[in-house]
Structure 1
Amino acid sequence: MTPATGAVDLIKASGLGVTLGGRRILSDIDLSLSAGEIVTLIGPNGAGKTTLVRTLLGLESPTVGRMMRKEGLRIGYMPQRVAVDPILPLNVARFLRLGARRRGAVRAAGERLGLVGLLDSPIQGLSGGEMQRVLLARALLRDPELLVLDEPAQGVDVGLQSGFYTLIREIRDELGCGVLMVSHDLHLVMAATDRVVCLNGHICCTGLPEAVSRDPAYQRLFGVADTRGLAVYAHVHDHTHGAVSGESDEGGHRHA
């Protein structure tokens, strides 16, 4: 499922820049996401991914540029992790009810994500993969138009990660929602996304999931040596690279 022609943007940033503590974190960000579209945001540590997501969600204010969100936009957010006090008597069902909008939603979400057998289990005793499914279920309880997933497969066994991303695509198809993922898990995420945005203080490149393994700029940024089997995307540059070997642009992205 991909966004229909003329689909209304759920979020749209134009010329967005963010400065925090006197330090420029993001500059010249143009980004939009429509219903039915999965966009994956990638970039090295310190690239500004978290700041961009917080700005898109309205938790940070842009220093320059414009930020638009669909009026009344319902957002379901799945964080990387949630810290729960080990002495808090909280089982999975009660944890999920904290975010439920309607009666019966918790049971339905549990059935959809294979959590029914865990609803009475203490939240502190879950494995990494079980906790990620619980966090995804909690995000879905908001009936989201936009689902924001921060490292959604973190803690999931490598052998199960592909199935987890397949589940995300199935949810997108069922709900027709937009999905914004943040990930470093390129080998699997590339095959699960409609569009990739590569960030390093600014948008270095963006495009469809094809041809990235052959792109020298991508490999320099991520240090990919063996790309056999890597799902790929088209690499479209929206800025000018320096001609001098090792020259760095504004965002700290180095080019040979």
Structure 2
Amino acid sequence: MTDPLVTLDNVTVRFDDRPAVDRVNLNVHRGDIITIIGPNGAGKTTLIKALLGLQPITGGKVQRASGLVIGYVPQNLQMEATLPLSVKRFMALSGRSRGECLKALARTGIEHLVNASVHHLSGGEKQRLLLARALARKPDLLVLDEPAQGVDINGQAALYELIRELRDELRCGVIMISHDLHLVMAATDKVICLNQHVCCSGFPADISHDPAFIETFGQSVAESVAVYHHHHNHRHNLHGDVVLGQSSPADSHGDSCNHVHH
């Protein structure tokens, strides 16, 4: 196995002498999709910011591979409503060339919005714009904080499928935070359940049976996650609508899925 892109060794972050993150160990390699789950206030965003170097740590060590390029997708896009800003201008702020920006917009399925106002985008379009900005950096590691926030359930499935495709194309690592337990179990390779410390971690198929997972989320959630399956027989467009048959990339860039619950 290759050396990790990022290693967290007993990382601790304290606020007012209370641990927001307590002695967390984590390795992220190329090809990984690791999802951090946990209740509100569990320290998930704090952990991500520590990994990025945006949050000082009070204990432990964060090691990043030499020359590591990180693409960061924050939880949401907060802009001053009176500030005029087009998608094209927003992408230009990334410092990448116009060609690289247009290519990234095309890959996330929103190149047709290049002249649109950022303020007029839907939730799903905003998330794809943030992903495009990160993608333009050609990252070794994609870090996503609630990437499907503000996106309906079908749009979420399409977005998670796109993240998997980008992982394969870029040969990058992916680490993300998610509250969408059902969808994330189909979209990730490894799950880490965080509640200040790591309660449990493992493969999605196994973790729902872990006593610590059941204690954190409840028996009913654990049972519903355990029986979730994700199959593919149709496509979704950017708004999460089902699209039958062939369609243009601008209209249906996403996954093919059929959500089966028992």
Q: Which residue of 2 aligns with 1:23?
A: 18
What code does the residue aligned with 1:174 have?
Answer: E
Contact 2:201 2:207 in 1 (8 A): no
The CA deviation at 1:59 is 1.4
List runs of 5+ in structure 1 lacking aligned partners.
1-5, 233-256
What code does the residue aligned with 2:6 have?
Answer: I
Q: Which residue of 1 aligns with 2:153?
A: 158
Out of 95, 104, 124, the residue aligned to residue 109 of structure 1 is 104
Out of 38, 41, 56, the residue aligned to residue 43 of structure 1 is 38
Out of 203, 209, 230, the residue aligned to residue 228 of structure 2 is 230
Out of 116, 120, 125, the residue aligned to residue 115 of structure 2 is 120
- 1:7 is paired with a residue whose SS is coil
The CA deviation at 1:179 is 0.5
Contact 2:12 2:60 in 1 (8 A): yes
Contact 1:100 1:106 in 2 (8 A): no
Question: Where in structure 2 are the equivalents of 1:129-140 lying within 5 Å?
Answer: 129-140=124-135
Deviation track 1:178-231 (CA, whole Å, cap 9, x = no partner) reads: 101011111001111111111111111111111333334312211351534436
Number of positions where the alignment pairs a residue of Structure 1 with one of Structure 2 = 227
Q: Does 1:179 align with 2:174?
A: yes
Q: Which residue of 1 aligns with 2:247?
A: none
Aligned equivalents of 1:94, 1:42: Cα separation in 2: 34
What code does the residue aligned with 2:194 have?
Answer: L
Aligned equivalents of 2:201, 2:208: Cα separation in 1: 14
Q: Which residue of 2 aligns with 1:253?
A: none
- 2:130 is paired with a residue whose SS is helix
Q: Does 1:205 align with 2:200?
A: yes
Q: 1:224 to 1:106 in 2, by over 3 A?
A: farther
Aligned equivalents of 1:220, 1:199: Cα separation in 2: 12
Q: Which has the higher strand share?
A: 2
Moved more, 184-193 or 169-178: 184-193
Aligned equivalents of 2:113, 2:98: Cα separation in 1: 19
- Divergent runs of 4+, >6 A: none
Contact 1:188 1:231 in 2 (8 A): no
Aligned equivalents of 2:26, 2:185: Cα separation in 1: 18
List runs of 5+ in structure 2 lacking aligned partners.
231-262
Deviation track 1:124-150 (CA, whole Å, cap 9, x = no partner) reads: 001111111111101111111110000
Moved more, 218-227 or 87-96: 218-227
Q: 1:213 to 1:22 in 2, by over 3 A?
A: closer
- 2:147 is paired with a residue whose SS is coil
TM-score (norm 2): 0.82
Identical counterparts, % of pairs:
50
Contact 1:162 1:188 in 2 (8 A): yes
- 1:87 is paired with a residue whose SS is coil
Contact 2:191 2:207 in 1 (8 A): no
